[in-house]
Structure 1
Amino acid sequence: MAARTVSARTFAAVGAVAVLVAGLSACASASDDKDPEHRSFAFQGDTLTIDADDSALEIVAADGNRAGEVEVTRWFQGSVALGSDPEVTWSIDDGRLKLRTRCSGVVADCATKHRVEVPRGIAVTVKTDDGSVRAQGFRDALEIRTADGSVRVSDSSGPLELHSDDGSLRADVSSRRVNASTRDGSVRLELGAVPDLVDTRSDDGSVTVDLPRATYKVSAESDDGSVDVSVPRDDASSHEVTARTQDGKVTVRTAN
């Protein structure tokens, strides 16, 4: 009889979890949050570090922001069953904006997105563990590092560094110096100004570099894939381009 009682209780528990999972089967999306939170953070310094653990990020250089203030908008959607309530926090200290999401339990489904508006004249470094990053409008130095997520940069002209352990990299910029590397993902750069230095690498993915018409010193290699370089080449050129991948096609060409 005892064995039958335990079996019944186990079945009931499993059934309860199944119901909860079914209720959360539609994954949370931060965009479902129709009432995002806003906050202004006082900031003094030349470089802002954005440190996020689990959030999609949109980083914008904003002309309209008041000097000494960083504007942040946060969207959050999610729920936890059989666990502690989710928690999202934000703070700034010593030039570091920390964005944190805590969401854990037997059944947990959360999504967070942040939009960070940075005044002109401030260099930005972004470090995130999990989440895509989009950035636009930067004239100052921009560095983005993500452990897991794609990176997209547009309408920027300052020095650019992009690094991802697992994610594709895309940039449509006029930066004179670009360094882009990923362990797993493709890389595509579209440059609107003749660069001084481009260094782009992928361990597993194609690499494509579109350049303005000029003569370049080019080093292009693929361990397992074709290499197509169609820009004018001169090893004495001061415009240096390196494009390498271990597995994938490498293309260096003049933009249309």
Structure 2
Amino acid sequence: MGFHCRTALLATVGAGVVALALTGCASSDPANAPVEHKNFAFAGKALTIEGSSSTVVVRSADVRDVEVARQVDGWVAFGSGPDADWRLEQGTLSLSVKCSGAVKDCGARHEVTVPRGVAVTVRSDDGRIEASGFDTPLTIASDNGRVSVTNSSGPLDLTSHNGRIEGEGLRAKTVRAASDSGRVSLAFAVVPDSVEATSDDGRVDLAVPKDTYKVTAGSDDGRVAVTVARSDSSTHALTARSDNGRVTVRNG
């Protein structure tokens, strides 16, 4: 962590006007920062994780506590930070990194391991969210960042205002995925019962095992291709829609 610029120049221009020139400023790189660890005692059945300016990686495993590994990196010119904080209070795990200054670039990566059997909600205002291994309900909401889920069988509710949504090896029977600006791509390892995938501005791609599906698919501005077996009486319902992008429903 710390100030990552090779040169900082301060000059007085006119009467009391300060001009700041920075050169050689490197971007923050949390992946190469030292790793800090902390365990939080937890006995509940539902956990909310709130991230700020951070990549959040969350997984379910055979652990007793909520385990967090943190990496923080960044620089600030004429200010303070990065200041990182992590706390678990009343069922909410808060993971924050704050920087204040004339010029700044701060970021973090948090890896969170959650005990099995816990339903999880993850919210982030700026950063990628990755989740794996859940057989309980999982809700993810990102204001600005990609959402990725793998190898999960519990019900999924995934949203991103500005970022793509990806699912691989999904065994969930019920999935809702919606992006305001980004591609939605979901691949299933088992036949789902109900899938609703939508994007306001991006492609929508569903890959499902061979079976017969009730399909609703459409795009206001893009090609629509449905190649799965279809029947309106099927109990397996797929909805795929984009306002501006191609829509594909296929076996895979």
Indicate whether the TM-score tops 0.5: yes
**In the TM superposition, what is the alpha-carbon distance from 1:9 to its structure 2 partner?**
7.1
CA distance in 1, matches of 2:76, 2:35: 20
The answer (yes or no) to whether the contact 1:82–1:106 under 8 Å persists in 2 is yes
CA distance in 2, matches of 1:48, 1:107: 35
Could you tell which deviates more after superposition, 162-171 or 76-85? Answer: 76-85
Name the amino acid aligned to 1:129: D
**In the TM superposition, what is the alpha-carbon distance from 1:54 to its structure 2 partner?**
1.3
> How has the CA–CA distance of structure 1 residues 232 and 41 changed in structure 2, closer, same or farther, with 3 Å as cutoff?
same
Match of 2:209 in 1: 212
Task: Give the length in aligned residue pairs.
Answer: 240
Match of 2:6 in 1: none
The superposition leaves residues 165-214 of structure 1 with CA deviations (integer Å, 9 ceiling, x where unpaired) of 00000001111111000000000000011001000100000000001000
Give the number of the structure whose alpha-carbon radius of gyration is greater: 1
Q: Secondary structure at the match of 1:31?
A: helix
CA distance in 1, matches of 2:221, 2:46: 39
The superposition leaves residues 131-184 of structure 1 with CA deviations (integer Å, 9 ceiling, x where unpaired) of 001111111111100000001111111111110000000001111111000000
**In the TM superposition, what is the alpha-carbon distance from 1:6 to its structure 2 partner?**
5.2
| More strand, by proportion | 2
**In the TM superposition, what is the alpha-carbon distance from 1:239 to its structure 2 partner?**
0.3
> How has the CA–CA distance of structure 1 residues 81 and 233 changed in structure 2, closer, same or farther, with 3 Å as cutoff?
same
Q: Does 1:59 align with 2:55?
A: no
- The equivalent position to 2:181 in structure 1, one of 167, 179, 184, is 184
The answer (yes or no) to whether the contact 1:136–1:156 under 8 Å persists in 2 is yes
User: What residue ranges of structure 2 are gaps of 5+ in the alignment?
Assistant: 1-11
**In the TM superposition, what is the alpha-carbon distance from 1:118 to its structure 2 partner?**
0.5
CA distance in 1, matches of 2:38, 2:79: 28
CA distance in 1, matches of 2:13, 2:68: 51
Q: Secondary structure at the match of 2:100?
A: coil
Q: TM-score, normalised by structure 2?
A: 0.92
Q: TM-score, normalised by structure 1?
A: 0.91
Q: How does 1:97-112 map to 2 (within 5 A)?
A: 97-112=93-108
Match of 1:163 in 2: 159
Match of 2:68 in 1: 72
The answer (yes or no) to whether the contact 2:73–2:82 under 8 Å persists in 1 is no
The answer (yes or no) to whether the contact 2:164–2:179 under 8 Å persists in 1 is yes
Q: Does 1:29 align with 2:34?
A: no
**Percent identity of the aligned residues?**
45
Match of 1:94 in 2: 90
The answer (yes or no) to whether the contact 2:207–2:250 under 8 Å persists in 1 is yes
- The equivalent position to 1:7 in structure 2, one of 10, 14, 30, is 14
Q: How does 1:136-175 map to 2 (within 5 A)?
A: 136-172=132-168, 173-175=170-172
Q: Secondary structure at the match of 2:113?
A: strand
